[in-house]
Structure 1
Amino acid sequence: MKLPIRVSDDSREPIYHQIETQLKALIIGGQLPPGTPLPSIRAMAGELKCSLITTRRAYQNLETGGYIKTVQGKGTFVKEIEEVLKQETKDKVVYDVLQKAVEQAKQLGTSKEEIRMIFEEVLTGHYEDS
Protein backbone atom coordinates (compact mmCIF):
# COMPACT_ATOMS: atom_id res chain seq x y z
CA MET A 1 0.00 0.00 0.00
CA LYS A 2 1.50 3.33 -1.08
CA LEU A 3 0.54 6.19 1.21
CA PRO A 4 0.48 9.85 0.15
CA ILE A 5 3.31 10.81 2.50
CA ARG A 6 6.12 13.16 1.54
CA VAL A 7 9.17 13.93 3.63
CA SER A 8 11.66 16.71 3.11
CA ASP A 9 15.26 16.82 4.26
CA ASP A 10 15.00 20.62 3.97
CA SER A 11 12.28 20.87 6.63
CA ARG A 12 13.19 21.98 10.14
CA GLU A 13 10.92 19.18 11.41
CA PRO A 14 12.61 15.82 11.96
CA ILE A 15 11.63 13.20 9.39
CA TYR A 16 10.01 10.93 12.00
CA HIS A 17 7.77 13.85 12.99
CA GLN A 18 6.85 14.54 9.36
CA ILE A 19 5.82 10.89 8.95
CA GLU A 20 3.92 10.86 12.24
CA THR A 21 2.07 14.11 11.49
CA GLN A 22 1.02 13.03 8.01
CA LEU A 23 -0.14 9.60 9.15
CA LYS A 24 -2.17 11.21 11.97
CA ALA A 25 -3.80 13.53 9.45
CA LEU A 26 -4.70 10.60 7.17
CA ILE A 27 -6.14 8.67 10.13
CA ILE A 28 -8.05 11.59 11.66
CA GLY A 29 -9.27 12.75 8.25
CA GLY A 30 -10.73 9.31 7.52
CA GLN A 31 -8.51 8.47 4.53
CA LEU A 32 -7.15 5.56 6.61
CA PRO A 33 -10.19 4.04 8.36
CA PRO A 34 -9.92 1.76 11.40
CA GLY A 35 -8.51 -1.65 10.54
CA THR A 36 -6.52 -0.42 7.55
CA PRO A 37 -3.19 -2.22 7.39
CA LEU A 38 -0.13 0.03 7.24
CA PRO A 39 3.07 -0.78 5.38
CA SER A 40 5.72 -2.52 7.43
CA ILE A 41 8.39 -0.31 8.97
CA ARG A 42 10.87 -1.65 6.42
CA ALA A 43 8.53 -1.00 3.47
CA MET A 44 7.70 2.52 4.69
CA ALA A 45 11.40 3.33 5.20
CA GLY A 46 12.15 2.07 1.69
CA GLU A 47 9.30 4.08 0.16
CA LEU A 48 10.36 7.29 1.88
CA LYS A 49 14.09 6.62 1.52
CA CYS A 50 14.73 7.07 5.22
CA SER A 51 16.15 4.87 7.95
CA LEU A 52 14.34 2.04 9.73
CA ILE A 53 15.03 3.80 13.04
CA THR A 54 13.28 6.96 11.83
CA THR A 55 10.22 5.06 10.62
CA ARG A 56 10.14 2.89 13.76
CA ARG A 57 10.12 6.02 15.93
CA ALA A 58 7.14 7.46 14.02
CA TYR A 59 5.24 4.17 14.35
CA GLN A 60 6.09 3.86 18.06
CA ASN A 61 4.87 7.41 18.73
CA LEU A 62 1.64 6.71 16.84
CA GLU A 63 1.13 3.48 18.76
CA THR A 64 1.79 5.20 22.09
CA GLY A 65 -0.68 7.93 21.09
CA GLY A 66 -3.39 5.36 20.34
CA TYR A 67 -3.59 5.85 16.58
CA ILE A 68 -2.24 2.48 15.44
CA LYS A 69 -1.65 -0.99 16.87
CA THR A 70 0.77 -3.73 15.99
CA VAL A 71 -0.40 -7.34 16.06
CA GLN A 72 2.48 -9.77 16.37
CA GLY A 73 2.86 -11.77 13.17
CA LYS A 74 0.08 -9.89 11.36
CA GLY A 75 1.21 -6.29 10.97
CA THR A 76 0.33 -2.76 11.97
CA PHE A 77 -3.22 -1.45 11.70
CA VAL A 78 -5.14 1.79 12.18
CA LYS A 79 -7.06 1.81 15.48
CA GLU A 80 -10.57 3.08 16.11
CA ILE A 81 -10.08 6.64 17.35
CA GLU A 82 -12.33 8.19 19.99
CA GLU A 83 -14.11 11.37 18.87
CA VAL A 84 -12.45 13.36 21.67
CA LEU A 85 -8.97 12.37 20.46
CA LYS A 86 -9.96 13.12 16.85
CA GLN A 87 -11.08 16.62 17.79
CA GLU A 88 -8.03 17.28 19.97
CA THR A 89 -5.76 16.16 17.15
CA LYS A 90 -7.55 18.29 14.55
CA ASP A 91 -7.36 21.30 16.84
CA LYS A 92 -3.65 20.77 17.51
CA VAL A 93 -2.78 20.33 13.82
CA VAL A 94 -4.65 23.51 12.84
CA TYR A 95 -3.17 25.42 15.78
CA ASP A 96 0.38 24.35 14.89
CA VAL A 97 -0.04 25.29 11.22
CA LEU A 98 -1.51 28.68 12.09
CA GLN A 99 1.18 29.30 14.68
CA LYS A 100 3.92 28.65 12.10
CA ALA A 101 2.18 30.94 9.60
CA VAL A 102 1.92 33.74 12.17
CA GLU A 103 5.58 33.33 13.14
CA GLN A 104 6.60 33.61 9.48
CA ALA A 105 4.37 36.64 8.99
CA LYS A 106 5.96 38.35 12.01
CA GLN A 107 9.44 37.59 10.64
CA LEU A 108 8.37 39.40 7.47
CA GLY A 109 7.31 42.39 9.55
CA THR A 110 3.58 41.89 9.06
CA SER A 111 1.46 43.66 11.69
CA LYS A 112 -1.17 41.87 13.79
CA GLU A 113 -3.90 43.76 11.94
CA GLU A 114 -2.48 42.74 8.55
CA ILE A 115 -2.30 39.13 9.73
CA ARG A 116 -5.95 39.26 10.86
CA MET A 117 -7.01 40.78 7.54
CA ILE A 118 -5.12 38.14 5.53
CA PHE A 119 -6.50 35.37 7.76
CA GLU A 120 -10.07 36.56 7.12
CA GLU A 121 -9.41 36.70 3.37
CA VAL A 122 -7.99 33.16 3.40
CA LEU A 123 -10.85 31.92 5.56
CA THR A 124 -13.49 33.34 3.22
CA GLY A 125 -11.57 32.49 0.05
CA HIS A 126 -11.45 36.12 -1.03
CA TYR A 127 -7.71 36.61 -1.13
CA GLU A 128 -6.61 38.65 -4.10
CA ASP A 129 -2.94 38.98 -5.01
CA SER A 130 -2.29 42.70 -4.96
Structure 2
Amino acid sequence: MKLPITIREDSREPIYHQIEAQLKALIVSGHLPAGNPLPSIRVLAKDLACSVITTRRAYQNLELSGYIKTTQGKGTFVAKVDEAKIAMTKRSTVQNALKTAIDTALKHDYSIKEIESMFAEILQEKEREA
Protein backbone atom coordinates (compact mmCIF):
# COMPACT_ATOMS: atom_id res chain seq x y z
CA MET A 1 0.00 0.00 0.00
CA LYS A 2 1.45 3.35 -1.03
CA LEU A 3 0.81 6.10 1.51
CA PRO A 4 -0.20 9.61 0.36
CA ILE A 5 2.88 11.29 1.80
CA THR A 6 4.67 14.12 0.04
CA ILE A 7 8.21 15.13 0.91
CA ARG A 8 9.09 18.76 0.31
CA GLU A 9 12.80 18.98 -0.37
CA ASP A 10 12.67 22.79 -0.17
CA SER A 11 11.26 22.69 3.37
CA ARG A 12 13.41 23.56 6.36
CA GLU A 13 11.52 20.86 8.26
CA PRO A 14 13.51 17.60 8.48
CA ILE A 15 12.23 14.81 6.22
CA TYR A 16 11.62 12.42 9.14
CA HIS A 17 9.41 15.08 10.73
CA GLN A 18 7.47 15.60 7.50
CA ILE A 19 6.81 11.85 7.32
CA GLU A 20 5.88 11.69 10.99
CA ALA A 21 3.49 14.66 10.78
CA GLN A 22 1.75 13.37 7.66
CA LEU A 23 1.37 9.84 9.05
CA LYS A 24 0.02 11.24 12.30
CA ALA A 25 -2.51 13.34 10.34
CA LEU A 26 -3.62 10.28 8.34
CA ILE A 27 -4.10 8.35 11.59
CA VAL A 28 -6.01 11.00 13.59
CA SER A 29 -8.22 11.85 10.59
CA GLY A 30 -9.27 8.20 10.33
CA HIS A 31 -7.75 7.66 6.88
CA LEU A 32 -5.54 5.01 8.48
CA PRO A 33 -7.71 3.16 11.03
CA ALA A 34 -6.42 1.20 14.02
CA GLY A 35 -5.00 -2.16 13.01
CA ASN A 36 -4.23 -1.01 9.47
CA PRO A 37 -0.88 -2.39 8.29
CA LEU A 38 1.80 0.11 7.32
CA PRO A 39 4.57 -0.40 4.78
CA SER A 40 7.88 -1.62 6.13
CA ILE A 41 10.56 0.96 6.82
CA ARG A 42 12.45 -0.14 3.71
CA VAL A 43 9.40 -0.04 1.43
CA LEU A 44 8.40 3.41 2.70
CA ALA A 45 11.96 4.68 2.23
CA LYS A 46 11.93 3.41 -1.36
CA ASP A 47 8.47 4.90 -2.07
CA LEU A 48 9.56 8.30 -0.72
CA ALA A 49 13.08 8.16 -2.19
CA CYS A 50 14.70 8.80 1.16
CA SER A 51 16.96 6.86 3.49
CA VAL A 52 15.94 3.93 5.66
CA ILE A 53 17.38 5.82 8.65
CA THR A 54 14.95 8.69 7.99
CA THR A 55 11.86 6.47 7.81
CA ARG A 56 13.04 4.46 10.83
CA ARG A 57 13.28 7.66 12.88
CA ALA A 58 9.75 8.70 11.88
CA TYR A 59 8.39 5.24 12.78
CA GLN A 60 10.27 5.21 16.10
CA ASN A 61 8.87 8.62 17.06
CA LEU A 62 5.35 7.57 16.11
CA GLU A 63 5.69 4.36 18.10
CA LEU A 64 7.00 6.21 21.16
CA SER A 65 4.03 8.59 20.85
CA GLY A 66 1.57 5.68 20.65
CA TYR A 67 0.35 6.17 17.08
CA ILE A 68 1.78 2.96 15.63
CA LYS A 69 2.97 -0.39 16.96
CA THR A 70 5.46 -2.87 15.59
CA THR A 71 5.11 -6.59 16.17
CA GLN A 72 8.27 -8.61 15.56
CA GLY A 73 7.80 -10.85 12.53
CA LYS A 74 4.39 -9.41 11.64
CA GLY A 75 4.98 -5.76 10.76
CA THR A 76 3.96 -2.28 11.74
CA PHE A 77 0.34 -1.33 12.33
CA VAL A 78 -1.72 1.72 13.25
CA ALA A 79 -2.31 1.71 17.01
CA LYS A 80 -5.64 2.35 18.72
CA VAL A 81 -5.46 6.02 19.70
CA ASP A 82 -7.90 7.33 22.29
CA GLU A 83 -10.35 10.09 21.34
CA ALA A 84 -8.82 12.69 23.69
CA LYS A 85 -5.40 12.25 22.10
CA ILE A 86 -6.94 12.45 18.62
CA ALA A 87 -8.75 15.69 19.50
CA MET A 88 -5.60 17.17 21.05
CA THR A 89 -3.48 16.22 18.02
CA LYS A 90 -5.97 17.67 15.55
CA ARG A 91 -6.21 20.93 17.49
CA SER A 92 -2.44 21.22 17.85
CA THR A 93 -1.91 20.57 14.13
CA VAL A 94 -4.40 23.25 13.11
CA GLN A 95 -3.03 25.76 15.63
CA ASN A 96 0.52 25.21 14.35
CA ALA A 97 -0.63 25.71 10.74
CA LEU A 98 -2.42 28.92 11.70
CA LYS A 99 0.61 30.19 13.63
CA THR A 100 2.81 29.53 10.60
CA ALA A 101 0.37 31.38 8.34
CA ILE A 102 0.22 34.33 10.75
CA ASP A 103 4.02 34.44 11.04
CA THR A 104 4.25 34.47 7.23
CA ALA A 105 1.75 37.33 6.96
CA LEU A 106 3.56 39.32 9.64
CA LYS A 107 6.88 38.84 7.82
CA HIS A 108 5.19 40.36 4.77
CA ASP A 109 4.28 43.42 6.87
CA TYR A 110 0.55 42.75 7.13
CA SER A 111 -1.12 44.15 10.24
CA ILE A 112 -3.16 42.01 12.62
CA LYS A 113 -6.33 43.68 11.29
CA GLU A 114 -5.34 42.87 7.69
CA ILE A 115 -4.63 39.25 8.66
CA GLU A 116 -8.01 39.00 10.41
CA SER A 117 -9.68 40.40 7.29
CA MET A 118 -7.91 37.85 5.03
CA PHE A 119 -8.86 35.05 7.41
CA ALA A 120 -12.52 36.17 7.38
CA GLU A 121 -12.50 36.29 3.55
CA ILE A 122 -11.10 32.77 3.33
CA LEU A 123 -13.68 31.48 5.81
CA GLN A 124 -16.48 33.11 3.80
CA GLU A 125 -15.15 31.47 0.60
CA LYS A 126 -15.10 28.07 2.32
CA GLU A 127 -18.62 28.62 3.64
CA ARG A 128 -19.87 29.32 0.09
CA GLU A 129 -18.12 26.18 -1.19
CA ALA A 130 -19.76 23.99 1.45
Fold match by TM threshold 0.5: yes
Give the distance between the partners of 1:100 and 1:82, measured in 2 at CA.
Answer: 27
Give structure 1 stretches of 5+ with no counterpart: none
Deviation at residue 126 of structure 1 after TM alignment: 6.3
Amino acid at match of 2:42: R
Give the distance between the partners of 1:21 and 1:126, measured in 2 at CA.
Answer: 24
Aligned pairs for 1:1-130 (under 5 A) are 1-125=1-125
Structure 1 runs, 4 residues or longer, greater than 2 Å off: none
Amino acid at match of 2:35: G
SS in 1 for 2:17: helix
Alignment deviations for residues 48-87 of structure 1 (CA, whole Å, 9 cap, x no partner)? 0001111000000000110000000000000111011001
SS in 2 for 1:69: strand
Amino acid at match of 1:13: E
Alignment deviations for residues 18-71 of structure 1 (CA, whole Å, 9 cap, x no partner)? 000000010000000000000000000000000111100000000011000000
Give structure 2 stretches of 5+ with no counterpart: none
Instruction: Give % identity.
Output: 57
SS in 1 for 2:94: helix
Q: Aligned-pair RMSD on alpha carbons?
A: 1.2
SS in 2 for 1:109: coil
TM-score calculated relative to the size of structure 1 = 0.95
Amino acid at match of 2:6: R
